[in-house]
Amino acid sequence: MSVTVVKFGGTSMADAKSINQVADIVKQDKKRRYVVVSAPGKRFSQDHKITDMLYACYHDLQINGECKATFDKIRERFKGIVSDLELDIDIDAYLNHVESDMLKYNSAEFCASRGEYLSAIITAAKLGYKFIDAKDIMVFNENGDFEPEITNEKVKQVLSKVERAVIPGFYGGDESGLVHTFSRGGSDVSGAVIARAVGATMYENWTDVNGFMTADPRIVSNPKPIEKLSYKELRELAYMGANVLHPESIFPVRVGNIPINIRNTFCPEAKGTMIVPELEEKDMNNRVITGIAGKKGYSIVYIEKSMMNSELGFVRKVLAVLEYYNISFEHLPTGIDTMSIVIADSELAGKEEVVIERIKKVVNPDHIEIKSNISLVATVGHGMSYKPGTASTLCGALAKENINIRMIDQGSSEMNIIVGISTSDYEKAINAIYNAFQK
């Protein structure tokens, strides 16, 4: 029997009404045997995510030694969900246990994980599925590093004996029983890990949008939906800020060539976006670009020196300076006598002067400066390599809007062109590129 692993995000778990919708979706397809859930998200714009409230609990513990006032709000939220679902479970007992364990472990990761834990208990009761605690199957080492291969074997072993189960996302545990978490949004990764281990034929990731759009709908009016994209295209778009799916969730499913289907819990009839290992050639030929995404908050360290290209070790010496100050860089486009290093402002903050002075000392450039207020815009798509003039179209679209390109970098796979532009031109640049390719 083929297996579909389904993961539901925070908005899908926000209240009893949405959980009822989740239950209906799961029961519509018998192949949906393993369910991974997030903590309850916001019910409305001014609401609070449960995970944020749990982090607030941890903060209270550090300051006051207790977190009763904040936890009481969490308690009220979960009791309301259970009551509205009319479930016959003693949620107070679970909540009391969680509150006492938060005091016992006094760990940010443990506190943050309890939203998924409680959410999974409730969902399992609603579906009549077995609850399996993620700390017993998602293996981390004592340093908090995830162990994918050990986890894969553990999940196989446990779930081979369970027909249907609900598993909390976002966290796991080490040999001593301590809880460790993935980064925020890590429930996507949990679902992908489960999908790989059970040999799923599909990993459905249910959220509150109909899938990926060609561009951010907050910037571009009514962008076209993306029906299908490849793992590689997803990685590029997710890295540049298309946050529908956690970018690291690709790695587990890639091992088993498992497709991911992004679906909308609140519009289940929509087909969503299918993410596949490789696109067929006809898909690449039918479109030039797949999507546009971007990020604000960058600076460019611009270095100029005559005969730089013939100076052995020049780039290495410059990058050694960044390593010395523990600074990661994003892109490194170069010319014969020039070099641009794109760095996130968060990496460079407070270190600008010392970095400039040390670079001057080690490579003696003719000119060096930092250009701030830079944003990056990535245009992504396998079809770009099949269509001559793609870069010309992109640059022409920006020139038409009087947008100056401060940096341009094309990946070796020819499926990604990244431009650096002034942040003041960010929204205008995305619209210009979108309109140029979506005629």
Domain ranges in the chain with CATH number 3.30.2130.10? 291-437
- Report the pLDDT averaged over residues 307-319: 93
Residue type, 356: I
Q: What is the pLDDT of residue 171?
A: 98
CB 306 within 8 A of CB 366: yes
The residue behind tokens 């607030």 is: 56
Q: Tell me: the pLDDT tens digits for 332-358?
A: 988 889 999 999 999 999 999 999 999
Task: Give the separation between CA 158 and CA 198, rounded to whole angstroms.
Answer: 10
- What does the block give as tokens for 264? 């909308």
Bridge partners (DSSP) of residue 273 are 262
The residue behind tokens 């490789």 is: 278
Count of CA atoms in the C-beta half-sphere (13 A) of 274? 15
Task: Give the separation between CA 102 and CA 97, rounded to whole angstroms.
Answer: 9
Tell me the three-class secondary structure of the chain, residue by residue: CCCEEEEECHHHHCCHHHHHHHHHHHHCCCCEEEEEECCCCCCCCCCCCHHHHHHHHHHHHHHHCCCHHHHHHHHHHHHHHHHHHCCCCCHHHHHHHHHHHHHHHCCHHHHHHHHHHHHHHHHHHHHCCEECCHHHCCEECCCCCECHHHHHHHHHHHHCCCCCEEEECCEEECCCCCEEECCCCCHHHHHHHHHHHCCCCEEEEEECCCCCECCCCCCCCCCCECCEEEHHHHHHHHHCCCCCCCHHHHHHHHHCCCCEEEEECCCCCCCCEEEECCCCHHHHHHCCCCEEEEEEEEEEEEEECCCHHHCCCHHHHHHHHHHHCCCCCCECCECCCEEEEEEEHHHHCCCHHHHHHHHHHHHCCCEEEEEEEEEEEEEECHHHHHCCCHHHHHHHHHHHCCCCCCEEEECCCCCEEEEEEEHHHHHHHHHHHHHHHCC
Domain ranges in the chain with CATH number 3.40.1160.10? 4-278
Q: What is the pLDDT of residue 247?
A: 78
Architecture of domain 4-278: 3-Layer(aba) Sandwich (3.40)
Length of the chain: 439
Question: What's the CATH fold of domain 291-437?
Answer: VC0802-like (3.30.2130)
- 228-230, strands of its sheet edge to edge: 130-131, 165-168, 32-37, 4-8, 202-207, 260-264, 273-276, 228-230
Between 35 and 387, where is the model more confident? 35
Q: Which of 113, 172, 147, 380 is nearest to 252 (CA)?
A: 147
Strands 165-168 and 130-131 come out as parallel
The residue behind tokens 């696109």 is: 279
Q: What is the pLDDT of residue 169?
A: 97
Q: What is the pLDDT of residue 224?
A: 93
- Report the pLDDT averaged over residues 57-73: 95
Task: Give the separation between CA 344 and CA 372, rounded to whole angstroms.
Answer: 10
Q: What is the pLDDT of residue 334?
A: 86
Q: Tell me: the pLDDT tens digits for 241-265?
A: 777 888 788 889 999 899 999 999 9
Q: What is the pLDDT of residue 388?
A: 83
Q: What is the pLDDT of residue 412?
A: 67
Q: What is the pLDDT of residue 150?
A: 97
Is the pLDDT at 439 greater than 70, yes or no?
Answer: no
| Residue 287 binned pLDDT confidence (cut-offs 50, 70, 90) | confident
Q: What is the pLDDT of residue 413?
A: 67
Is the pLDDT at 374 greater than 80, yes or no?
Answer: yes
**CB count in 10 Å sphere of residue 145:** 11
Is the pLDDT at 385 greater than 80, yes or no?
Answer: no
- Report the pLDDT averaged over residues 153-157: 97
Q: Tell me: the pLDDT tens digits for 211-244?
A: 999 999 999 999 999 999 999 998 888 888 777 8
Is the pLDDT at 100 greater than 80, yes or no?
Answer: yes
Is the pLDDT at 386 greater than 80, yes or no?
Answer: no
Between 172 and 411, where is the model more confident? 172
pTM of the predicted protein model: 0.88
- Report the pLDDT averaged over residues 175-190: 92
Is the pLDDT at 25 greater than 80, yes or no?
Answer: yes
Going from the C-alpha of 167 to that of each of 72, 119, 196, the distances in angstroms are: 25, 9, 15
